[in-house]
Chain A
């Protein structure tokens, strides 16, 4: 990390993403160029800078089409970026991963049913990874497997069981145990509780919280449920149309958002205690297509604060407060409009 071109105060980070872009499409063959006219490229990611501190849960929120799944795919190496860099624990991660570099970033998937191989027992699933990566000597594989299962709240007796014998929540525990087996530096959790029932969600959220506090695990938590994010995350990054538009510590982001899109998201949360508010920040219509990103600030067509300057300038992500960044030209103006019914600050 000797290149001092980046931020002057380079915080220690276990995962760092710089200037990452991903473009899909843009015709390659002459035939498609003939048939569909000018090239149409989809900018799924348009310059992402992000870092994950050791031992923190960073939540990544955004609506469908915001690019958060694409980012996750690039981070685990199952998609290659068009440009930009990913580094894990200070070392650059190659776009095409080998055995060692893929070990460092592991993932927990949304669907606990398709993420476990129905024909492989729990014990075989874990031992295969432990042996392949030589995590422990062969004689200790069983003990290590049991340790992993205990870590996620399961018992030794599940070693011989097939995934079909488990409920959704328990499958998600198994998926977490599998991800932890290879001792990753970073865990990417892609909507890990949204396929689960409410009463089961809580146990998995508690498990993530425990893993962070006891193992110091660094987790990138992708989610659309903001109540879940608020409960678990230390920091939150908000994505809109392939860009990160706001990053802040969780309580600051939810009590004093500095980007109107974040504000709109908060206003859209169905509330259990308060009734939702109507203060002009709710969004009409749907996110514009990533094929046709608006000029200027990409949020301006839906923004209640937008003015001429927003139509002409594409705002970068700038520091607006302590550990708080926003890509909005009106971030200061927004700070003066308090959120009605704001949740209480973290104690």
Chain B
């Protein structure tokens, strides 16, 4: 891909700060300030993403995974806001910096891909122009150069006949092509951090594979870091190296994907793995997790998973277990983590 000399060289990236992670999320709480006690949807979430690392955040609906991602991107829907905590990008505090400065980072440094490209694309603008918009604004390219770059980016995301497709409107393209347009748009300024919110959930399985492979290749080529939010464990296994599992607004377990899948150290992670059909082990019985996640407004005291947990003991309902290291590189928020020593096939 020598023709694409974008981003990294042209955008004048800030130099990477040494000794700090590319993205640092620290004790982040997201929720709604109301007249009484604020409703905390995401509670004290912390994680780091190093340059080139690919991190998957897995959780069920309502776990707060998407809001965490949106808080990083500064795209929280009103009236949801960041209640406390810090989000640092390359050593700089994203939440404290002026809005204008933060906006300038979105595109050349941080970019986001959404689940439903149709709602994220402008329906009355040709897709080529939409891709070219970022490079024109952030990289200062001329209309002509940005247009050429847009076609190059489309070719790079595997869109056949890119020069012709660049003149199409979003509704004229299929779901898979629209998602590729979104990706082309996101990577057009060569970002260092790509935030993905269920980018393949709406796609057919063959197209999903193509899009996942594309993301993988783009990240490998440019050293881009990925934060990938999904509900699908198998997709995380295919795409990411690191994993954080969210439940009821908390990260309950994190670590390397392979290690976590092999030997989960939090009962919820284990429950997720045992309840999902595994194509490679068709005869394994599915073990559902009893009950359903707590409502945001009345989460139980203590460990939020305690009411559904098979390992629960009295102290679980008294205090929230902290996310602590249970093995090298493995964190789990469970008092009973030591009892989970089984290796799943």
Question: Would you call B282 and A272 a contact (CB within 8 A)?
Answer: no
Q: Which residues of A contact B210 (CB under 8 A)?
A: 282-284
Q: How far is the CA of A286 from the CA of B345 in the complex (A)?
A: 35
Q: How far is the CA of A265 from the CA of B206 in the complex (A)?
A: 6
Q: B206: which of A63, A205, A346 is its contact (CB, 8 Å)?
A: A63
- Contacts A202-B286, A286-B174, A343-B282 given: A268-B205 contact, CB under 8 Å? yes
- Is A271 on the interface with B (CB-CB < 8 A)? yes
Question: Would you call B234 and A269 a contact (CB within 8 A)?
Answer: yes
Q: Which residues of B contact A224 (CB under 8 A)?
A: 204-205
The range of chain B's interface size is 35 or more
Question: Would you call B61 and A205 a contact (CB within 8 A)?
Answer: no
Q: How far is the CA of A38 from the CA of B28 in the complex (A)?
A: 60
Contacting A at CB under 8 A, from B296-321, are: none
Q: Chain B 278-307 against A: per-residue CB contact (8 Å), 1 yes, 0 no? A: 111111001111001100000000000000
Question: Would you call B277 and A231 a contact (CB within 8 A)?
Answer: yes
Question: Would you call B204 and A270 a contact (CB within 8 A)?
Answer: no
With both beta carbons as reference points, the residue of chain B lying nearest to A198 in the complex is identified as: B276
Question: Would you call A199 and B282 a contact (CB within 8 A)?
Answer: no
- Contacts A169-B292, A202-B287, A224-B205 given: A270-B238 contact, CB under 8 Å? yes
Task: Give the Cβ gap from A200 to chain B, nearest Cβ, in Å.
Answer: 7
Q: How far is the CA of A218 from the CA of B48 in the complex (A)?
A: 50
Question: Would you call B275 and A272 a contact (CB within 8 A)?
Answer: no
Q: Which residues of A contact B261 (CB under 8 A)?
A: 272-273
Q: Which residues of B contact A231 (CB under 8 A)?
A: 277, 282, 286
Q: B177: which of A201, A282, A286 is its contact (CB, 8 Å)?
A: A286
Q: How far is the CA of A273 from the CA of B343 in the complex (A)?
A: 13
In the assembled complex, 19 residue pairs joining A and B whose CB atoms fall closer than 8 Å, in A order, are A197-B60, A197-B61, A197-B231, A198-B275, A199-B289, A201-B276, A206-B286, A224-B204, A225-B205, A225-B277, A230-B279, A271-B234, A272-B279, A273-B280, A276-B238, A282-B210, A286-B204, A343-B279, A343-B281
Q: How far is the CA of A286 from the CA of B174 in the complex (A)?
A: 8
Task: Using CB atoms and an 8 Å cutoff, list the residues of chain B in contact with chain A.
Answer: 60-61, 158, 160, 174-177, 204-210, 212, 231-235, 237-238, 261, 271-273, 275-283, 286-289, 292-293, 345
Q: How far is the CA of A225 from the CA of B235 in the complex (A)?
A: 12
Q: Which residues of B contact A203 (CB under 8 A)?
A: 288
Q: Name the prevailing secondary structure of the A interface residues.
A: loop
Most chain B CB neighbours (cut-off 10 Å) among A199, A254, A267? A199
Question: Would you call A344 and B281 a contact (CB within 8 A)?
Answer: yes
| Number of A interface residues in the complex (CB < 8 A) | 46
- Contacts A197-B61, A202-B288, A264-B206 given: A346-B283 contact, CB under 8 Å? yes
- Is A227 on the interface with B (CB-CB < 8 A)? yes
Q: Which residues of B contact A202 (CB under 8 A)?
A: 275-277, 286-289
- Is A319 on the interface with B (CB-CB < 8 A)? no
Q: How far is the CA of A346 from the CA of B205 in the complex (A)?
A: 23
Q: Which residues of A contact B234 (CB under 8 A)?
A: 227, 269-272
- Is A167 on the interface with B (CB-CB < 8 A)? yes
Question: Would you call B233 and A269 a contact (CB within 8 A)?
Answer: no
Q: A206: which of B288, B293, B345 is its contact (CB, 8 Å)?
A: B288
Question: Would you call A269 and B279 a contact (CB within 8 A)?
Answer: yes
With both beta carbons as reference points, the residue of chain A lying nearest to B176 in the complex is identified as: A286
With both beta carbons as reference points, the residue of chain B lying nearest to A170 in the complex is identified as: B292
Which 10 residue pairs are nearest across A and B when measured between Cβ atoms? A270-B234, A202-B275, A202-B288, A199-B289, A202-B286, A197-B60, A63-B204, A273-B280, A268-B209, A203-B288
